[in-house]
Structures are given as structure tokens and as C-alpha cells.
Amino acid sequence: MRLHDTPAGRVAVYRAGPEGGTGALPPLLLVHSVNAAGSVAEVAPLFQHHRGTRAVYALDLPGFGHSERSDRAYTPRLMTDALHAVVDLMCREQGVAAVDVLGVSLAGEFVARAQREAPQKLRRIALVSPTGFSRARRRYGLPGSTLGQPWLYRLLTRPFWSDGIYNTLTRPGVIRYFLQRTWGSKRIDEALWRYAVLTTRQPGAKHAPLYFVSAFLFSADINTLYEALDCPVWVSMATRGDFTDYQGKATVERRANWRFHAIEGGALPYFEDLAAFTAQLDPFWA
């Protein structure tokens, strides 16, 4: 793990790759989801899987893991700026012009924005259980706008209140409950649960999650971005748990550059059956 100073603050970056070379494929960046206990641990199985065949990078998003957790506004702009910085780092270190990127859940929105802003640097993108495809109203808001609720953020961050709210959201039993909803099963990954509990106990851990709970990290223009993507896009859809509604995919699913796959399991299916998941994903990168 290395810390890099970026326009989005200090960002923790993890890197690995095959012995004796970088592999035949472009470098791959893995981006974890956003929640009260998010971290790079959410993409650990994919990091281990890919490190033997290609250069693979992962980052803790701003406000999470070992990255900067200062008291500041956490927005899609900040997250996307962090992605741009790491992509630029990858291109420099690996001597390439473009990389591949995989984003989990809400991080898929940041990945889509980064691809539209720097299409020459993001060759292919994969979205695991992405947000923005439910049957709810499509999001075609003003460019760069969010679903943020200022009144809710003010309520959650009132003095002598915010710590209690965050501590309640991140009690071990509550983290387990939300992971079970993510899995759609009580058989969650125990190592991920343990790490999630630890990472929520670090200084400044509450700041980004309270922006998340207040909806400031959800892009109000995400469907405009999705529909503008012209690079190859691979999407996995959960079959269990809270993230199984993809009726909104009708806006893009017939486009030649989009591929949707219903993969048995919850929203992080590679924790349940890594071989089955990568059998679907790996051919996409070729």
C-alpha cells in the first residue's frame, strides 16, 4: 500500500502483478463500493485473482480505508477526481495509454463519469451490481448535480449527535445485518465483516458515510452518463439480496457496447463463487 497526494487528497493505492512482467492485458483498476464501512477489502478476491495475469491496482476511495478522511464535502466530483489521479498514475507506471476499470455498486457511477471525462484513458469498464438501473425514475439532472439532501446532512451532523448516529450505523451487529442484506443470505464473508468493523473505528471515519447517507454521493445525471458511454461495458446483476432491481437497464441493454449478466448470488458474487464470476468476466477483458 502506498499513499499518493492527489487533487482529491491523500489516496491509498494498492498494486500487484505477475512475476517477471505486467501481462498481456492493460492494467486493471478495482474500485470498492460506498457505504458506512466501505474499503478496498470489498474487491480483495478480484485483486488476488487478477494479480497473476496482469498489473492490478485498487484504491481506498477518499474518506475510506487508509485514504484521507478529513472533514470536507464528499461528492461524485471528489471521487471521480481520485479515479483520474490513480488512472494517470497507472498509465505512468505501466507505460500505457489506457487502463481497464471495475467499479462496485455506487462506485460504478464514478467510473462512468471518469470514462466520459477521459475516454481515451479508460478502455473497458465493468460494473458490479451498479446503482442507477432500478425501476425508479431515471436520473437526467443537470451535469454534475447530485441527489444530496442538505437538510438531512444538517440533521445527521448536529453537534453531539453525529458521533452517536455513525456509531449506531457501524455497530458490529448492524454491519453484519447490512452485509446479510447485500449477500441475500446469512452466510457472509466473515473476514470482510471483521475488516469492516475495524475500518469504521478509525479517526474521521464518519465524514464520508454521512454524505453517503444524505445522498450527496449519488449522481443526479447518472443515466445521461450511462447512455453516453461508447466504450465496452460489462454489468453483473445480483439475483439475491437488496440489489436485484435492474428494470432500468432497458435504456442501454440493446446497445452493442453493453453486456448484462445475471450472476447467481448477492451484490458481491465473487465472494461466493469467484470461479463462476470470473468465468463470465475474464473474456470481456480480452
What phi and psi, each to the nearest 5 degrees, are found at residue 12?
A: -85, 125
For residue 20, pLDDT over 90 is answered with: no
Least Cα distance to 189 among 132, 263, 265 occurs for 265
Name the amino acid, one letter, at 116: R
Alpha helices in the chain (DSSP H): 44-50, 76-94, 107-117, 150-156, 162-169, 172-183, 190-199, 207-213, 222-228, 274-285
Judged against a pLDDT cut of 90, whether residue 272 lies above it is answered with yes
CATH code, domain carrying 137: 3.40.50.1820
* CB environment 47-71: b (16+ within 10 A), e (fewer): bebbbebbbbbbbbbbbbbbbbbee
- Does the pLDDT at position 38 exceed 80? yes
The closest of 113, 127, 120, 62 to 228, measured between CA atoms, is 113
Structural domain including 272 reads 2-285
Q: What is the tally of structural domains in the chain?
A: 1
Joined grid coordinates for residue 187:
452466510
Name the DSSP letter for residue 41: G
- Strands 258-262, 122-128: pairing is unpaired
Task: Tell me the mean pLDDT in the region 245-266.
Answer: 96
Q: Express each pLDDT in 66-81 by its tens digit.
A: 999 999 999 999 999 9
